[in-house]
Amino acid sequence: MKNTIVIVDDHILIAKALSSIISSFKDFEVLYECENGKELQDKLADKNNIPTIVLLDVSMPIMNGFETAKWLTTHHPDILIMALSMQNEDQSVITMLKNGAKGYLLKNTYPSDLENALLTMLKNGFFYPDWAAKTIFNDIENKEKSKAAIRAQFTKRELEFLNYVTTDLSYKEIAAQIGCSTRTVENCKDNISQKLHIKTRVGLAVYTIKNELSSL
């Protein structure tokens, strides 16, 4: 039995192209297509329309990918969400992750890479490309540290920084929030990166969310 996929994208040509590509995959079939999150909501009211995976465009009218991911996570937590975007913007990745997406792909991905991403997400429960710090998930899942032990790795100022790393605030704006200089915030980021061996803000955001270090 094949795994079912729903494509949610307001660009009809892209949706049709994706549908055609996925139909060629041995383990997958497209259940239906939607042009926005609201249309998906209406479809999912029928229990026969529940897919294994939703391929979700980030930018859409009426109900965008961020709103749709959040709604799906609340109402259909068993559905795996793979976000789709034209750009690898850090904040899009962070927001989609916070809202429940388990994967993130660019629309210029090769068909073979798309198939591999879908299979990987089914196997591991998530798929993120290297630049989005995919390996962090394995590292976090395998650690048997308590929340207290995790927090103990960081200074008070570093924890304050991590509390804001998942937001769309710039480092200068984060500095204003926690009452320090921009240079202090940059030092916090560098120190934490060295401790965790995570270089990017996306990676730090993933770590922060998974370990519940942010109250925002």
pLDDT (tens digit per residue) in 151-191: 889 999 999 999 999 998 999 999 999 999 999 999 999 99
Helix (H, G, I), strand (E, B) or coil at 83: strand
Helices (DSSP H) in the chain: which residue ranges?
12-23, 37-44, 65-75, 90-98, 111-124, 134-142, 147-151, 156-164, 171-178, 182-196, 201-210
Residue 18 has a CB neighbour count (10 Å cut-off) of 22
Nearest to 119 by CA among 98, 139, 101, 103: 103
Question: What is d(CA 36, CA 129) in angstroms, rounded to the nearest whole number?
Answer: 25
User: Please, what sign has the CA dihedral across residues 212, 213, 215, 216?
Assistant: negative
Pair 161, 116: CB distance under 8 Å: no
User: In the chain, what is the straight-line distance between the N-terminal and C-terminal CA atoms, in Å?
Assistant: 41
This prediction has a pTM of 0.65
pLDDT single digits (tens) 51-60:
999 999 998 9
pLDDT single digits (tens) 14-44:
999 999 999 999 999 999 999 999 999 999 9
Q: Which residue has the higher pLDDT, 37 or 141?
A: 37
